């Protein structure tokens, strides 16, 4: 697995010798066998550690990550992508794996649509149908856009 540094390059986590804080949200990483000391945002570093894993378990057919989107006219919809497996991250959480990577390549854990139709989101909410999740996700996005929630 890799971490993405501020210089735009990806570095192997396996090569990390040490990490030190150099700013409010920045870390300097010392690498084994290299004089490079890339700088990485703390959030990117945390994400890389969370998804650094060697364990993989296939997902049940009909399992998807789902996400909300808005078109240029402000009309909301949702898409889904097949979950091909599950992995246990260094953060102790189980993460979905899609063809776009761990957690579908997103920074946050995406909502999961299970084969029985239930949706679990990363806010510890559970919905009986994808339609219920969609309505709640739209409401949350609208409240966030209005500044009502962060």
> CA 44, 46, 47: angle at the middle one, nearest 5?
60
pLDDT confidence bin for 34, thresholds 50/70/90: confident
Q: What is the mean pLDDT of residues 33-46?
A: 87
Q: With contact defined as beta carbons under 8 Å apart, do 66 and 129 qualify?
A: no
Q: What is the pLDDT of residue 39?
A: 93
Residue 98 has pLDDT above 80, yes or no: yes
Q: Which strands form 119-120's sheet, in the order they lie side by side? A: 76-82, 64-70, 112-113, 119-120, 126-127
Q: What is the mean pLDDT of residues 136-149?
A: 90
Q: What is the mean pLDDT of residues 132-149?
A: 91
Residue 51 has pLDDT above 70, yes or no: no
Looking at mean pLDDT, say which of 45-49, 93-97, 110-114 comes out highest.
110-114
Residue 106 has pLDDT above 80, yes or no: no
Q: With contact defined as beta carbons under 8 Å apart, do 104 and 110 qualify?
A: yes
CA–CA gap between residue 137 and residue 144 (Å, rounded): 10
- The SS3 assignment for 110 reads coil
Tokens of 22: 């150099």
CA–CA gap between residue 47 and residue 31 (Å, rounded): 18
Among 3-7, 23-27, 53-57, 110-114, which is the least confidently predicted range? 53-57
């Amino acid at each position: 697995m890799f971490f993405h540094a501020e210089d735009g390059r990806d570095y192997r986590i396996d090569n990390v010798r040490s990490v030190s804080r150099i700013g409010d949200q920045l870390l300097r990483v010392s690498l084994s066998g290299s004089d490079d000391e890339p700088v990485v945002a703390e959030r990117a570093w945390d994400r890389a550690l969370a998804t650094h894993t060697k364990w993989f378990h296939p997902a049940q057919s009909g399992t998807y990550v789902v996400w909300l989107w808005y078109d240029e006219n402000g009309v909301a919809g949702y898409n889904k992508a097949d979950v091909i497996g599950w992995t246990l991250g260094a953060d102790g959480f189980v993460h979905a794996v899609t063809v776009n990577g761990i957690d579908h390549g997103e920074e946050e854990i995406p909502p999961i649509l299970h084969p029985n139709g239930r949706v679990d989101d990363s806010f510890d909410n559970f919905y009986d149908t994808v339609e219920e999740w969609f309505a709640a996700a739209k409401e949350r996005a609208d409240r966030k856009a209005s500044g009502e929630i962060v």
